Amino acid sequence: MPLATRNVTSTKKQFKFSRSNFSVIIPAAGMGHRMKSYGPKALITLYNDTTLIERQIDIIWSAYPNAEIFIVIGFEAEKIRKKLSHYPIRFIYNPLHEQTNVLYSIGLALQASLSEEVLIIYGDLIFNEPTIKNLKGASSIVIDEHDFLKKTEVGLTVQDKKAINFSFGLDTKWAQIVCLTGKELGLFKKISMRSDTSQWLGYEGLNYVLENGGEISVSSPRTMKLFEIDTAKDLEKIVKNKLTFG
């Protein structure tokens, strides 16, 4: 069983928070092999002295004030727990983070969530509020039509404003943000809990959803801004370009 603990002490900022039927999952359990020496990506400090994960939490609660946030931790988990000890969030520990992939981490949080609608946001993204706003109400993903992401990232084919298939090598990129509800959430939860998919990436789980009759619409907000931290060079870009996306 996954280890889940809840911190409910007073926050550093006054957030509106209550149990809701809308959850946000941030997978942040991996070590990031190319950046292992920097510690957890979630604790990377942006140029304005705010950590990446704190910025994500601030923006999520700005867009969805009553969302319940789950953060999946693994690599140097206690550092993240300590940093966020005053935030009313739920930690989900992935004890197999070195042997499993992101779909497994997301699945652990899905088992803990009772919400009928879940927003998944990868833990190495810097984004602004318009990127994630207005996603509730249907299964949908955010796509990058502004060339924010590297060409090596996972792409997808789109037809009639719906996702058809995810794969590497496609021009339209998935922004690693997805909202799932109804049939799509049920299918994604089912595939994430299987032992034979513990090495799967998130997009493979989404392909399973599509192959089994699920429908996922696409969204590309006009004023969205997005940046992924993948290498040490990306950290240099953050400082040089002051990437806060405020």
Q: Residue type at 25?
A: I
CB burial of residue 179 (10 Å; 0-12, 13-18, 19+): buried
pLDDT value, residue 233? 79
Burial class of 134 by CB neighbour count within 10 A (0 to 12, 13 to 18, 19+): exposed
> pTM for this one?
0.88
What pLDDT was estimated at residue 242?
A: 56
Name, in order, each residue with C-beta under 8 angstroms of 194's C-beta and a sequence gap of 6 or more.
none
Q: How much is the pLDDT for 33?
A: 57
pLDDT in tens, the chain (246 residues): 444 444 433 344 544 444 569 999 999 998 765 555 567 889 988 867 889 999 999 999 999 999 999 999 999 999 999 999 999 999 999 999 999 999 999 999 999 999 999 999 999 999 999 999 999 999 999 999 999 999 999 999 999 999 999 999 999 999 999 999 999 999 999 999 999 999 999 999 999 999 999 999 999 999 999 999 887 777 777 765 555 555
Q: Are 177 and 119 in contact (CB under 8 A)?
A: yes
Instruction: Give the C-alpha separation, 235 to 246, whole Å.
Output: 17
Query: How many CA atoms within 13 Å lie on the side-chain side of 135?
Result: 33
Specify the pLDDT at position 36.
59
**Number of residues assigned to the chain:** 246
pLDDT of residue 237: 74
pLDDT for 184: 98
* Domain architecture of the chain: domains with CATH: 3-241 (3.90.550.10)
